[in-house]
Amino acid sequence: MNLKIVALAVSTAFALTAQAQDKPKPPPAWHQGKPPAQAESKLAPHAGKMTETPASQIPVSKLKAPKGFKVELWASGLPGGRAMAVSEDGKKVWVGTRSIGRVYEVTDEGGKRSVRTVIDKLNQPAGVAVNGGALYVFAIDKVLKFNDIASNANAQPEDLTAKFDLPKEQHHNWKYVAFGPDKKLYVPFGAPCNICELPSDEYAQIRRYNADGSGKEVIATGVRNSVGFDWHPKTGELWFTDHGRDWAGDKGFHDELNRLSKAGLNFGFPYCHNNGTPDPDVKKEKACEGMAKPALLLGPHVAAMGIKFYTGKMFPKEYRNVAFIARKGSWNREKPSGFDVVTVRVGADGKGGKITPFLTGFNESKEAYKFWGRPAYIAQMPDGALLVSDEQVGAIYRISYGSAKPAAKK
Amino acid sequence: MQAPGKGRWAWLAALFVSSFAFSQGERLSQCAACHGPDGNSVTQGVPSLAGQPQLFLENQMILFREELRRSPVMTPILAGMKDAEIVALAEHFSKLKARPVAQSPSDREVARKGEALAKKLRCGVCHTANFQGQKQMPRLAGQREDYLVSEMLAYRDGKRSGGDTIMAAALYGVKDEEIRALAHYLSRLP
């Protein structure tokens, strides 16, 4: 059945290519690659919310988790808050944003949370990572390091931008960043388009650097837009989510969960998607030859974001080493998909993956876009509780299990 | 809004009133000085706010406040303004009735060209079929012609800061005269 859809997309793609030829080169755009069949589609990215949502207007009671788990509002008043980096003692959580240009710091003292803005006026500072006592902030065009910020609220940023060789295109170049078990800093560079031949070989890849920006190494290519990764607790291998291309209908393409079994793998973009489907627009001979396949397909257009392999002791044993993945929710789909946190049970070798909904209730309809929240990232606290950020209402939820001591009210 | 000198009144308003705390009534008359008492601007280079989607207005005010969309006029006015006040102002202007303001004489041929272009570029997919806007995407119908021209040029040339990169991409390769035709057409729509 999938083949039929692909065939249709391929035939309609010729018309599109012809149409695009009266411009010098295709624009890097979220709607680039839209086939004539979807030309009049009203689908467009959802609006983010840049104003504070009061705690009283966040319907956390609508969130459903499996029996025995407790979901509570842990922090709010962080418009646009998404990726989280937790200090080593778990007392501070730094939170990156996109449009609003801020990085927040949430401080947990005696069960009460306070929020302050560490820095603002940046160009989509989505990436935050902690290394020792230092906080790294990645905007699209800037890298800042706050030394000792965990102990010194007045820490001033050191500008490391020049060390990281950031390319100039902005689209899909907001970041998720994290330090690996090898103490290296992992940084993705998205494709600056929905689907296109890359303007240079600086894009659609994941790199790693030494903490000071030296030793740049491209470790994965053909990665369209990864904004979430973690390392498998048993193998230490990098696993990353990757957003599939848009404008290919409700059934395609899927977002992926990928396993980097060795450095240097190519994951197919722009020529090959998912389990070996050539792209309908950007073509080459033997498009899928030699391309790494995903460990698991995560659903079409779901916007798979943060991933965290659970290593805590608070949750029941069957959750140990299970991947929690936040699926922020689709826009390029008539029927919504995602808007949840799922657990993925998959072998360390990438085989036998199974997706189970874990946290649901963000979208109040299966048929229509009636969402109030959008889960984006997952962090594990020292006590084994998980934090889930909600980019739509600028809040963080805490998920705990059993008789674990609840967080005191904010 | 952009370069200094475009709206003298805006400068005056910013100079005289930005350091006080306001009631909403006072704040609204501050807005009205440039954007028009009914939210339909008769000031060159200053956009109409009436009938704009509330979320669009909120977002723009936040972008000004955070200095992500740079404007020497708007940033001082928004500096330190609380989210709740921004939401209230956005709600107020979103509920006012938009109407096209008289500017240059209409040129039917240019308007027709603009209409064809708007269709070709599929502006209505986001801004809706009658260009009244939705959510984070502004109303274009009846917006000031000079403002539409200056903002589309700025988007195309990467000079309008803040927000997403969507409009730069949508206007990629569109010529100056095409932008003028689009503005001519859109500014005259009800």
Higher pLDDT among residues B9 and B128, named by residue = B128
Same fold, B8-95 and B108-187: yes
Residue A39: what pLDDT? 67
Provide the number of CB pairs (under 8 Å) joining chain A to chain B: 73
Residue ranges of chain A whose CB lies within 8 Å of a chain B CB: 23-24, 27-32, 39-42, 44-52, 79, 99-102, 120-121, 123, 170-171
Contact residues, chain A, for B137 at CB < 8 Å: 44, 47
Residue A14: what pLDDT? 35
Q: What digits encode the pLDDT tens for the residues B129-163? A: 999 999 999 999 999 999 999 999 999 888 887 76
Q: What digits encode the pLDDT tens for the residues A177-196? A: 999 999 999 999 999 888 88
The partner residue sitting opposite B62, judged by closest CB among A28, A29, A100, is A100
Residue A38: what pLDDT? 72
The partner residue sitting opposite A51, judged by closest CB among B86, B162, B172, is B86
pTM of the model: 0.85
Give the residue extent of every domain in chain B. Answer: 8-95, 108-187
| Inter-chain residue contact A40 with B125, CB threshold 8 Å | yes
ipTM of the complex model:
0.73
Give the mutation candidate from A51, A122, A141, A196 for the B interface (greatest B CB count, under 10 A): A51
- Which chain A residue has its CA at the smallest distance from B88's CA? A51
| Inter-chain residue contact A31 with B169, CB threshold 8 Å | yes
Contact residues, chain A, for B170 at CB < 8 Å: 27, 29, 31
pLDDT at B93 over 50: yes
Q: What digits encode the pLDDT tens for the residues B42-69? A: 999 999 999 999 999 999 999 999 998 9
Instruction: Measure in Å the smallest separation between the Cα of B125 and chain A Cα atoms.
Output: 5
| Inter-chain residue contact A23 with B122, CB threshold 8 Å | no
Residue A389: what pLDDT? 98
Residues of chain A with pLDDT under 50: 1-28, 409-410
Higher pLDDT among residues A353 and B5, named by residue = A353
Residue A92: what pLDDT? 96
DSSP code for A164: H
- Topology of domain B8-95, per CATH? Cytochrome Bc1 Complex; Chain D, domain 2 (1.10.760)
The partner residue sitting opposite B166, judged by closest CB among A30, A39, A41, is A30
Contact residues, chain B, for A52 at CB < 8 Å: 83-84
Rounded Cα–Cα distance for residues A285 and A271 (Å):
9
- Class of the domain covering B108-187: mainly alpha
Assess contact for B130 and B141: CB atoms under 8 A. yes
Map chain B to HEC letters.
CCCCCCCHHHHHHHHHHCCCCCCHHHHHHHHHHHHCCCCCCCCCCCCCCCCCCHHHHHHHHHHHHCCCCCCCCHHHHHCCCCHHHHHHHHHHHHHCCCCCCCCCCCCHHHHHHHHHHHHHCCCHHHHCCCCCCECCECCCCCCCHHHHHHHHHHHHCCCCCCCCCHHHHHCCCCCHHHHHHHHHHHHCCC
pLDDT at B12 over 50: no
Residue A171: what pLDDT? 84
- CATH level 2 (architecture), domain A41-401: 6 Propeller (2.120)
| Inter-chain residue contact B62 with A101, CB threshold 8 Å | no
| Inter-chain residue contact B173 with A23, CB threshold 8 Å | yes
Q: What digits encode the pLDDT tens for the residues A132-164? A: 899 999 999 999 999 999 999 999 999 999 999
Instruction: Measure in Å the smallest separation between the Cα of A39 and chain B Cα atoms.
Output: 8
